[in-house]
């Protein structure tokens, strides 16, 4: 009996020792301890804590000084008036010749000006001829007078000597007059075109600058220069 009690006390002491040392923790038997090393390991060490400094605000950006605006481009100097094509006319033959001589004497290059002949428009003639001589011409004129047909001499070299029985601005009018004369007994007359010689000219300056305009204007006796 005494032996059994001693063994029980020994067993109880061993169990208490094991429990107090945490040897029975694997089976869920461990004493509560203020130290609790396992829990302390899971805590954050206070000595390692540091108060992080507040994030510094970004330094204020220095204001960018405004870029000086580019100086306005200088205005181009007023250029001389551009050369332009100008003309004047019609000038009669005498005026045209005077202008020609003055421009040539003034040293103006021939490429800077031209005198363009102006021929009158063509006309249509009821014509008889060419005759071999003046006697043949007068004989035919006498015949036409007998028929009361008026005539006039033709001065154009290609048609002289010959007679004009009427001059018209259109071919249709000339043909009508020829038909009337035919009914009155006129034979061998026909309608021809009269190409007249130029009787005037037009002065043309293809690219006249201010100096040339001034020079030419003084030669035109008040006639204006107009755009081509």
Residue 1 within a domain = no
Selected residue with higher pLDDT from 35 and 84: 84
**Residue 226 DSSP SS3:** strand
User: Is 150 found in the same domain as 88?
Assistant: no
User: Is 155 found in the same domain as 202?
Assistant: no
- What CA–CA distances, in Å, run from 175 to 191, 192, 209? 7, 10, 51
User: Is 160 found in the same domain as 131?
Assistant: yes
Bin 23: left if φ > 0, else alpha if -120 < ψ < 50, else beta. Answer: alpha
Among 2-11, 19-28, 213-222, the range scoring the smallest mean pLDDT is 19-28
Please give the average per-residue pLDDT across 136-157, as a whole number. Answer: 93
The pLDDT of residue 125: 97
Give the C-alpha separation, 165 to 123, whole Å.
Answer: 13
Q: What is the pLDDT of residues 200-222, one digit of tens each?
A: 999 999 999 998 888 888 888 77
Label residue 8 by pLDDT band (50, 70, 90). confident
Residue 179 within a domain = yes
Residue 182 within a domain = yes
Give the C-alpha separation, 46 to 67, whole Å.
Answer: 56
- In degrees, to the nearest 5, what angle opens at C-alpha 122 toward C-alphas 117 and 125? 145
pLDDT of residue 34 exceeding 50: no
User: Is 185 found in the same domain as 137?
Assistant: yes
> CATH number of the domain that 212 lies in?
3.30.70.120
> CATH number of the domain that 142 lies in?
3.30.70
Residue 79 within a domain = no
Label residue 57 by pLDDT band (50, 70, 90). low
Residue 42 within a domain = no
User: Is 188 found in the same domain as 220?
Assistant: no
Q: What is the reported pTM? A: 0.47
User: Is 133 found in the same domain as 220?
Assistant: no
Question: Into how many domains does the chain fold?
Answer: 2
Give the C-alpha separation, 138 to 163, whole Å.
Answer: 10
Range(s) of the domain holding residue 143: 123-194
Which tokens is 26 given? 């694997």
Through-space distance between the first and last CA atoms of the chain, rounded to whole angstroms: 155
């Amino acid at each position: 009996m005494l032996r059994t009690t001693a063994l029980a006390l020994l067993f109880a002491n061993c169990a208490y020792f094991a429990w107090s040392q945490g040897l029975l923790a694997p089976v869920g038997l461990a004493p509560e301890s203020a130290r609790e090393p396992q829990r302390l390991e899971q805590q954050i060490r206070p000595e390692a804590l540091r108060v992080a400094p507040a994030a510094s605000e970004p330094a204020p950006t220095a204001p960018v000084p405004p870029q000086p605006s580019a100086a306005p481009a200088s205005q181009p100097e007023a250029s001389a008036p551009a050369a332009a094509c100008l003309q004047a006319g019609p000038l009669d033959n005498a005026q045209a010749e005077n202008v020609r001589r003055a421009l040539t004497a003034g040293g103006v290059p021939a490429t800077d000006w031209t005198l363009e002949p102006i021929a009158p428009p063509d006309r249509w003639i009821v014509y008889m001829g060419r005759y071999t001589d003046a006697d043949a011409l007068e004989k035919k004129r006498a015949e036409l007078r007998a028929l009361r047909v008026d005539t006039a001499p033709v001065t154009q070299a290609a048609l002289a000597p010959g007679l004009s029985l009427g001059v018209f601005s259109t071919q249709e009018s000339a043909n009508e007059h020829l038909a009337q004369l035919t009914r009155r007994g006129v034979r061998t007359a026909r309608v021809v075109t009269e190409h007249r010689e130029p009787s005037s000219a037009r002065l043309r300056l293809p690219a006249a600058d201010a100096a040339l305009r001034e020079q030419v204007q003084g030669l035109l006796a008040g006639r204006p220069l107009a755009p081509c």
